Structure 1
Amino acid sequence: MVQFQVDPSIVPSNEASRMAAVRRYDILDTPPDGMFDRVTAMAARLFDVPIAIVSIVDTDRIWFKSHHGVPVKQIDRDPGLCASAILGDDPYILENAAKDVRSLANPLVAGEFGLRFYAAVPLRTLDGYNLGTLCIIDKQVRAIDQKQIDDLKDLASVVMDHLELRLSAQRAIATSKMLAKEIDHRVMNSLQFVSSMLTMQGKLPHASQAVAELKDAANRVAAVARVHRHAYAQDVAGDMLASEYLGRLCEDISGIVSAPVQLVCGNGMISHAFIQPIGLIVNELVMNAVKHGAGPITVSYHEQSGMQELAVSDRGKGLPDDFDVSQSLSGLGMRVVRALSAQLGGQLNAANAEGNKGTRFSVRFPAASRSGLHY
């Protein structure tokens, strides 16, 4: 492992806590941000200098969040400039760096770059840590008065205000995600509890038809919980890889029905808005195949030419020649499937499987999400 040697004279006494603050703001190596770039451009115009930089001092380097007038993205953490400027709370001014003992040895001063003027204000957090600086640079010797220093301090405050707002937004997003996961967990537990209660109710002495209906209701509530669990099994806010989501769901259903449920799936994605209706359709069609079909059950999902097709097939006796999907399927499960298919912008179809061996139910729908889709 490479060990970086940093001059101990430029390491603050609270360096460990300071670096923890740098990591807290999660700013290092982030993409360019227009707000920071506008501040450095404004500073260059206001002070009539060629270079203005928003810097963050890392353990072994000085990284530039914004670098107006210079293409370099980072430099070593050498004494004399930003690394020294974060040691105190006051502005750090070098009117002639070539004659200032603090900066004589800095490569930017002693080398070809020829830095002569440097003025920096530390970027200080609310809890007292200097993350880096807002600095202005010139290759000409020049003076700076107190009014100009005050203007530079105000611009540095603008930078810190934006960093604080950025941090607050990140924390709000993290809190929202945590609350959403907790709500999802409680919803799933509630659904499972309702399913258990319906199952227990079905075991009491009732007419056989009522028992069967309670059992179906319990199974459907359990199915909603199952689909919900797999939809939020990963921390994904957008689309999900179809093979991962349907693979977990098919494995779960296979264990429940004690029959193999195979998955044939491409590398496509499932829109986040489609996850729950697709999961519920798969659950209903697989349960229907277990009840009325035979042999291995196959779930397939493919996308082609802007359309997606979800299908469930079995190896049972197949459908009669005069079968009409719009007229023959009047059960609650198939009504649910038809309704969910319509929500996806598709339509339920039924046909004999390839070679007239079994039944194949399918839904084709547009790959693009439909506005107003709800469950």
Structure 2
Amino acid sequence: MSAVRRYDILETPPDGAFDRVTAIAARRFDAPIAIISIVDHDRIWFKSHHGLSVEQIDRDPGLCASAILSPDPYILPDASIDPRSLTNPLVAGDFGLRFYAGVPLTTSDGFNLGTLCVIDKKPRTIDDDQIEDLKDLASVVMDQMELRLSARNALARAEILGREIDHRVMNSLQFVSSMLTLQSRGDHLPADTREQLKIAANRVSAVARVHRHFQSDEAAESTSCISFLRRMCADLSDIVAKPVVVSGHEGDVPTNRIQPIGLIVNELVTNAAKHGDGQIDVSFRILSETHEISVCDEGSGLPSGYNPTSGGGLGTKVVAALTSQLGGRVEAGRSPSGRGSCFTVTFPA
């Protein structure tokens, strides 16, 4: 049963590669039914069932459960007179099974997972060439299962390696940020140089922070934007020592947009904490053709004529560049509450 679980085959959807094998087996034997079965602890599940509509049967009456007990082909030319099967419900009951030829599906380490079998409702003979053909087809089934297992294992190793690389990248970014912070404390440096080193350290730290909160979602093609923002802003709230409240719509965005979104929000929240006052509100809205992210504060508001796409410091340029990367636009104005400023980034859905 551990071998069955290892191949993770139970309950998988129909597969053309396996269906072709059962079709060939039925045609080779001129038989109405051919099955690729997997023997579970209480049932026999059919990965492919040519000529039969059911997907599984109980293990007790299943001939496949007997077939896997031996490495040899299990052949019943006339099940109604064979001592091994004459009382079997499939033989004695309404189904009327008479012919059964099954070859075990054997793993590379010697476990029989199930069978490739051919079934008929009338007795028949079978020759050695047909048995060899059935054994070859069973080997094709196992080759397919081994390929799928190898692919899953390779993917799992790649994911582990990817997580390890992500972890090292994040640690490296934190290390660089720490070094810049230490450098900024040098008394021999001019004050403006120390300030610029602090800003650089904070920005490197922001990239590491976004990367950390993004790691759990990056394997998927899309991810919940608001869940990501809640994780990141909970962290930011402690850093800026101000409440950062996230609200808005549940919905996914492509994962390749999450990092620029995170860096934009990080920059806007940091600026709101530095230049604004009170609670910082972050919202994510899904409109008909666009997504919208707003960061609002409760400060004194923006100066008259302020343009978020020109002038300003490096933070403004960072937000403008990342917004352009999303194919969007950034606007600035008063907060909907009437107090403070609000920056809104809109980009195509």
TM over 0.5: yes
Partner SS state of residue 322, structure 1: coil
CA distances 1:63-106 after superposition (whole Å, capped 9, x unpaired): 10111111111111126710110011111100000000101121
Residue type of the alignment partner of 2:145: L
Q: Which one of the candidate residues 249, 270, 286 is aligned to 1:287?
A: 270
2:252 aligned with 1:269, yes or no? yes
Could you say which residue in structure 1 is the equivalent of 2:76?
94
Partner SS state of residue 243, structure 1: helix
Partner SS state of residue 83, structure 1: helix
2:104 aligned with 1:150, yes or no? no
In structure 2, how many angstroms separate the alpha carbons of the residues matched to 1:231 and 1:47?
Answer: 55
2:212 aligned with 1:238, yes or no? no
Could you say which residue in structure 2 is the equivalent of 1:176?
158
Could you say which residue in structure 2 is the equivalent of 1:48?
30
Residue type of the alignment partner of 1:317: S
Could you say which residue in structure 2 is the equivalent of 1:350?
332
Partner SS state of residue 242, structure 2: coil
Could you say which residue in structure 2 is the equivalent of 1:16?
none
2:237 aligned with 1:251, yes or no? no
Residue type of the alignment partner of 1:259: K
In structure 2, how many angstroms separate the alpha carbons of the residues matched to 1:80 and 1:105?
Answer: 12
Residue type of the alignment partner of 1:207: P
Q: Which one of the candidate residues 183, 206, 214 is aligned to 2:197?
A: 214
In structure 1, how many angstroms separate the alpha carbons of the residues matched to 2:256 and 2:245?
Answer: 24
In structure 1, how many angstroms separate the alpha carbons of the residues matched to 2:307 and 2:178?
Answer: 36
Q: How far has the Cα of 1:316 moved from its partner?
A: 1.1
In structure 1, how many angstroms separate the alpha carbons of the residues matched to 2:92 and 2:272?
Answer: 80
CA contact (8 A) 1:122 1:156 kept: yes
In structure 1, how many angstroms separate the alpha carbons of the residues matched to 2:246 and 2:210?
Answer: 16
2:13 aligned with 1:27, yes or no? no
Q: Where in structure 2 are the equivalents of 1:71-220 lying within 5 Å?
A: 71-78=53-60, 81-205=63-187, 206-220=189-203
In structure 2, how many angstroms separate the alpha carbons of the residues matched to 1:130 and 1:262?
Answer: 57
Root-mean-square deviation (CA, aligned residues, Å) is: 1.2
CA contact (8 A) 1:80 1:104 kept: no
Identical counterparts, % of pairs: 61
CA contact (8 A) 2:44 2:62 kept: no
In structure 2, how many angstroms separate the alpha carbons of the residues matched to 1:311 and 1:299?
Answer: 6
Could you say which residue in structure 1 is the equivalent of 2:307?
324
Could you say which residue in structure 2 is the equivalent of 1:4?
none
CA contact (8 A) 2:74 2:103 kept: yes
In structure 2, how many angstroms separate the alpha carbons of the residues matched to 1:163 and 1:327?
Answer: 59
Q: How far has the Cα of 1:322 moved from its partner?
A: 2.1
In structure 2, how many angstroms separate the alpha carbons of the residues matched to 1:94 and 1:333?
Answer: 79
CA contact (8 A) 1:79 1:102 kept: no
Partner SS state of residue 357, structure 1: coil
| Unmatched segments (≥5 aa) in structure 1 | 1-18, 368-375
Could you say which residue in structure 2 is the equivalent of 1:278?
261
Q: Which moved more, 1:226-235 or 1:52-61?
A: 226-235
In structure 2, how many angstroms separate the alpha carbons of the residues matched to 1:358 and 1:20?
Answer: 62
| Unmatched segments (≥5 aa) in structure 2 | none
Q: How far has the Cα of 1:268 moved from its partner?
A: 1.1
How many residues align structurally?
Answer: 348
In structure 1, how many angstroms separate the alpha carbons of the residues matched to 2:329 and 2:62?
Answer: 71
2:320 aligned with 1:338, yes or no? yes
